[in-house]
Amino acid sequence: MSTVKKQLLNHLQMIANCDGQIGVVGSMNADYTVTTERFPHPGETIQGGPMSVLPGGKSGNQAASAARLGARVHLFGALGSDSNAEFLITSLASAGVGTGSIRRVAGPSGTTMITVDSNGENTIVYSPGSNATVDAEYIQSVVDDLKQSSVLGLCLESPMDAVLEAACVCHGHNIPVLLNDSPFIDSLPQDLIDNTDILLVNEHEMAQLLKVNEPKEDDWTHVDWEFLASRLHRFGYDNAVITLGASGSRVIENGMLSVINPVHVEAIDTTGCGDSFMGTILSGLAANLSLHESAELASCVAAYAATGYGAQSSYGSFEQIADFIEQKIS
């Protein structure tokens, strides 16, 4: 067995054996998903396949992906009073996610309308529903549980005051905070930058954040990454993961740059692959893996997710990911 494969399997085992708890604060959505041959143009009606309602939401997905690997995860957020709330909490609990701190509010849970084309690409429209009720007061109401985390995951599908409060609480207690700037905003509050430790973005989001030009023909493999790392340092991050789609990712860890190779698969549906990548990074950090080691494993876990439909419904268990590594990694 190659050293790379042995290491990946060893890191996967370390995650499953780890006692540290991952905290994830944010969104849960029922994903109303339809497959189409191609995306419709504005004003056009096209026929799709049968509609499926699938468990999603970036934070729920991150938590579910980590839990499926065997990590201990606690999810913080809000569900509504509709039938989707039961469906979402049941799927999360069956993936192994701790759901005891999730608040119930009157009204609809978060929903999305998703189309997936024949290349596995998607478009998503997000309606926050109960996710919009997650605020700083809620974070304070769960602060004792939140402080049990050994690492915290945040994204921007929740109101900014809740995201900021969670970041401040955890960062202030030396709990590393990983921020996924998604759905993307290009004007992150300085307080949020100061209270997050690691940034996770894709290449286009990074370019917009740093106000740098994108390379010709989208060729990010030949850009000056040392320069970009220095710009990220000036922006406020010495630790970051920049995903490059089918070209893998780049990791900046304590200012040092490294390359993560892609794992090639035939993609059926890329919905939630980024969230499974983030869930695996959180799992790796909780298990004391380096950011680079966590991202290497995340590349495999996210590639596996692209081979199935939906977000949480496509995530691999510990055994499925171990088999995938055995087969795909030479």
Contact residues for ligand RIB, defined by CB under 6 A? 27, 29, 31, 56-58, 61, 112, 124, 126, 157, 271-272, 274-275, 311
Q: In the bound complex, what is the minimum distance in angstroms from residue 227's beta carbon to ligand RIB? A: 29
Residue number of the CB atom closest to ligand RIB? 56
What phi and psi, each to the nearest 5 degrees, are found at residue 11?
A: -65, -35
Q: Which is nearer to ligand RIB, 75 or 168 (CB)?
A: 75
Q: Which is nearer to ligand RIB, 180 or 294 (CB)?
A: 180
Q: In the bound complex, what is the minimum distance in angstroms from residue 182's beta carbon to ligand RIB? A: 7
As a whole number of Å, the end-to-end CA separation of the chain is 8
Q: Which is nearer to ligand RIB, 196 or 271 (CB)?
A: 271
Q: Which is nearer to ligand RIB, 61 or 283 (CB)?
A: 61
Q: Which is nearer to ligand RIB, 228 or 273 (CB)?
A: 273
Rounded to whole angstroms, the Cα distance separating 70 from 72 reads: 7
Q: In the bound complex, what is the minimum distance in angstroms from residue 329's beta carbon to ligand RIB? A: 25
Q: In what order do the strands lie in the sheet with 122-127?
A: 52-56, 29-35, 110-116, 122-127
Q: In what order do the strands lie in the sheet with 72-76?
A: 72-76, 21-25, 149-154, 177-180, 198-202, 240-243, 249-253, 256-260
Rounded to whole angstroms, the Cα distance separating 307 from 266 reads: 7
> Which H/E stretch holds residue 206?
helix 203-210
285 closest CA partner among 92, 100, 24, 61: 24
Q: In the bound complex, what is the minimum distance in angstroms from residue 275's beta carbon to ligand RIB? A: 5
Q: Which is nearer to ligand RIB, 102 or 289 (CB)?
A: 102
Please count the other Cβ atoms lying within 10 Å of the Cβ belonging to residue 107: 13
Q: In the bound complex, what is the minimum distance in angstroms from residue 110's beta carbon to ligand RIB? A: 7
Q: In the bound complex, what is the minimum distance in angstroms from residue 55's beta carbon to ligand RIB? A: 8
Radius of gyration of the chain (CA): 19
Rounded to whole angstroms, the Cα distance separating 218 from 297 reads: 25
Rounded to whole angstroms, the Cα distance separating 158 from 219 reads: 33
